[in-house]
C-alpha cells in the first residue's frame, strides 16, 4: 500500500497500519501528505473576516479594492478567489460571485518580474514547482511563456469542473496601454496599484462579459486618481473598498504587531500597517494619525470655542468646530459637518445644535451674491441664525518695524501653522470627526502647489483657526450645551 492509498483508505485504521511502518516509512508518509496538501492549497484557504468580506462583495460590486498593509494576506486572498473562478471549485462557505463555465482571467502587476514573483507565484507556485500555488497541479494544462522576462508565463490553461478550459493570462503595467487592449475578459486582477489608463483599459475588457475587476495593494502612492475612485467623491455604489490592517491579519501574532509597525519608517507606517494612503513628500500634513486623534471628552466651560464654514454647492459645504485650551495652547477639532447641494437653511439647521452663541468664521467668497436670492452667502447664514463674524477670515495683524501689517488670508501660512501644531502636539482631533481625518489624508501638493480638492471640512477648520482670537467660552445660560457636556458629547450633534 502506498502512502497516498493509506491516507485515502476509508477502511484503514490509522493506528493499526501506522504501527506496522518503520520510522523511515512514517517520515516518507508525512512528507508525501504534506506535498499533497501543498498541491491542494485551493481547499485549505480559510479567509479572515476582511478577506471574506472582500470575496462576498464580488457578488454585487463590479470593482473592488482590498487595501491592506504589507504581508497582511491580500495577494494570497485574491489568488485563492481567482483559483475558484478558474476551476469552478467553490468551497461550501463561498458567498461571492460564481461562474458555472470556464472563464478568462488576467492577473497583473507593475513589471514582468513583479508579476512573476507575486500573482504568478501565488497562483502557480515558484518556477519549476508549478502546481504548488492556489491552482492545483491536476488542473494545469497547456501553456505559453512570455518573451523578455525569464520564467514568466504568457498564458496557461486551467481545467474547469464543467469539462472545459479556463484561460489565465499574465500582464504587466509596463507593457503600456496598447498591450492591454484585446478580447473580452471575465476577471481582471491588479496586484499592486495600476496607472489610471491601465486600470481603465483592463476594466473596459470586462464590459462585454459583465465581468469585474479587483485590486490588491498597499497604498504607498497615496491618494492617486485610482484610489480616489474608491475613497473620494468619485466613489459609486458599484465600487467597494475593503481596508485590512495588521490587526486583521490573524497569522501575525499580536505580540509581533507593535514590533513590525515600529520597523517601518514613520511616514509610511499608516500605509504599510493599516493600508491608509499617504502621499509621501506631497502630503501637506505628514503626521501619524494616532498622534493627533483623541477620544471625545467634555469640553471645560472656560475653554473658548469657534466654528468655521467653507461654502460650496457642487463641491460640499464644510463646517468645523474648534475648542481652545489656552492654558496648554492646544486646539481641538471637536465637531464637523459636510454635505453638498443643500441650501444655506439646511446647513444652518445641521450645525445650529452646536450652539446659537458660537461665532462663525467664513472665507472671502461669503461676500459673493447668491444668484437665486441676490444676498451674500454670509448674510443668508446670518439670517438663518448663525452668529457670523462681521468680516471675512484673516490672520491677526502684525507689527513689523513699528508698522502694522495686515494679516491677510494666506493658505500657506495656515497650513504651516497647523502642521507645526500637529507636530508639537498642539492640534488634536476628536475620533468622532472622520471627515476631517479623511480629508487630511487627501490633502497634498502637486508640482509644489496645494491641490484645492477634497478639503471642505479642513478648510473650514483653517478659517476657524485663523479667527481663533474671536473664540468665546460657552455662556452659562446655554443649558443644551451644558447637558451635552455632562454627557460627554460636546462634539457636533
Catalytically active residues, by annotation: 192
484561460: which residue's cell? 167
How far is residue 472's CA from residue 357's CA, in Å, rounded to a whole number? 9
Nearest CA-CA partner of 435 in 324, 367, 340? 340
DSSP 422-463: HHTT-EEEETT-HHHHHHHHH-BEETTEE--SS-HHHHHHHH
Residue with cell 500582464: 171
Specify whether the CB–CB gap between 98 and 211 falls below 8 A: no
Provide the CA 309 distance to its chain's centre, in angstroms: 27
Angle between helices 456-466 and 434-442 (to 10 degrees): 100
What element of type H or E holds 30? helix 23-38
Report yes or no: 103 and 85 within 8 Å, Cβ to Cβ: yes
Question: 302, 268, 265: which is closest to 283 by C-alpha?
Answer: 268
The secondary structure element, H or E, covering residue 473 is strand 472-473
Using CA atoms, how far residue 403 sits from 393, 394, 397, 406, 410, in Å, is 21, 18, 10, 10, 19
Who contacts 263 (Cβ-Cβ below 8 Å, separation ≥6)?
A: none
**Is residue 336 within 8 Å of residue 322, measured between CB atoms?**
no
Contacts 24+ apart (CB under 8 A), 367-375: 367/392
Element (H, E) at 157: strand 153-159
Amino acid at each position: 500500500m502506498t502512502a497516498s492509498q493509506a491516507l485515502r483508505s476509508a477502511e484503514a485504521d490509522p493506528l493499526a497500519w501506522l504501527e506496522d511502518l518503520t520510522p523511515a516509512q512514517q517520515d516518507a508518509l508525512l512528507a508525501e501528505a504534506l506535498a499533497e496538501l501543498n498541491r491542494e492549497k485551493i481547499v485549505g484557504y480559510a479567509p479572515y473576516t476582511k478577506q471574506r468580506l472582500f470575496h462576498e462583495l464580488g457578488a454585487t460590486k463590479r470593482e473592488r479594492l482590498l487595501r491592506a498593509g504589507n504581508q497582511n494576506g491580500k495577494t494570497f486572498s485574491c489568488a485563492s478567489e481567482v483559483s475558484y473562478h478558474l476551476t469552478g471549485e467553490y468551497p461550501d462557505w463561498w458567498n461571492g460571485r460564481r461562474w458555472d463555465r470556464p472563464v478568462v482571467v488576467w492577473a497583473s502587476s507593475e513589471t514582468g518580474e513583479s508579476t512573476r514573483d507575486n500573482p504568478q507565484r501565488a497562483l502557480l507556485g515558484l518556477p519549476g514547482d508549478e502546481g504548488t500555488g492556489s491552482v492545483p497541479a491536476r488542473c494545469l494544462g497547456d501553456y505559453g511563456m512570455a518573451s523578455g522576462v525569464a520564467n514568466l508565463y504568457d498564458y496557461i490553461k486551467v481545467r474547469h469542473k464543467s469539462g472545459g478550459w479556463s484561460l489565465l493570462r499574465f500582464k504587466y503595467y509596463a507593457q503600456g496601454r496598447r498591450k492591454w487592449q484585446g478580447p473580452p475578459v471575465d476577471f481582471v486582477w491588479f496586484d499592486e496599484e495600476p496607472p489610471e489608463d491601465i486600470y481603465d483599459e483592463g476594466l473596459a475588457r470586462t464590459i462585454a462579459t459583465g465581468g469585474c475587476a479587483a485590486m490588491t495593494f498597499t497604498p504607498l502612492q497615496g491618494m492617486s486618481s485610482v484610489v480616489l475612485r474608491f475613497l473620494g467623491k468619485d466613489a459609486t455604489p458599484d465600487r467597494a473598498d475593503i481596508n485590512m490592517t495588521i490587526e486583521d491579519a490573524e497569522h501575525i501574532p499580536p505580540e509581533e504587531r507593535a514590533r513590525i509597525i515600529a520597523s517601518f519608517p514613520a511616514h509610511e507606517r499608516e500605509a504599510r500597517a493599516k493600508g491608509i494612503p499617504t502621499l509621501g513628500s506631497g502630503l501637506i500634513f505628514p503626521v501619524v494619525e494616532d498622534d493627533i486623534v483623541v477620544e471625545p471628552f467634555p469640553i471645560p466651560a472656560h475653554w473658548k470655542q469657534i466654528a468655521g464654514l467653507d461654502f460650496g454647492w457642487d463641491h460640499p459645504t464644510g463646517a468645523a468646530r474648534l475648542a481652545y485650551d489656552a492654558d496648554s495652547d492646544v486646539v481641538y477639532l471637536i465637531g464637523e459637518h459636510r454635505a453638498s447641494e443643500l441650501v444655506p437653511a439646511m446647513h444652518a439647521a445641521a450645525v445650529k445644535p452646536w450652539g446659537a452663541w458660537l461665532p462663525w468664521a467664513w472665507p472671502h467668497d461669503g461676500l459673493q451674491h447668491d444668484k437665486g436670492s441676490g444676498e451674500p452667502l454670509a448674510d443668508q447664514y446670518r439670517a438663518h441664525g448663525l452668529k457670523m463674524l462681521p468680516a471675512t477670515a484673516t490672520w491677526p495683524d502684525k507689527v513689523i518695524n513699528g508698522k502694522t501689517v495686515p494679516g491677510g488670508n494666506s493658505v500657506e501660512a495656515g497650513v504651516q501653522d497647523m502642521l507645526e501644531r500637529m507636530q508639537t502636539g498642539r492640534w488634536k482631533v476628536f475620533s468622532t470627526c472622520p471627515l476631517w481625518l479623511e480629508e487630511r489624508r487627501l490633502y497634498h501638493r502637486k508640482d509644489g502647489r496645494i491641490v484645492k480638492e477634497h478639503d471642505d471640512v479642513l478648510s473650514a477648520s483653517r478659517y476657524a483657526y485663523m479667527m481663533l482670537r474671536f473664540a468665546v467660552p460657552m455662556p452659562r445660560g446655554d443649558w443644551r450645551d451644558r447637558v451635552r457636556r455632562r454627557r460627554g458629547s460636546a462634539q457636533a450633534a
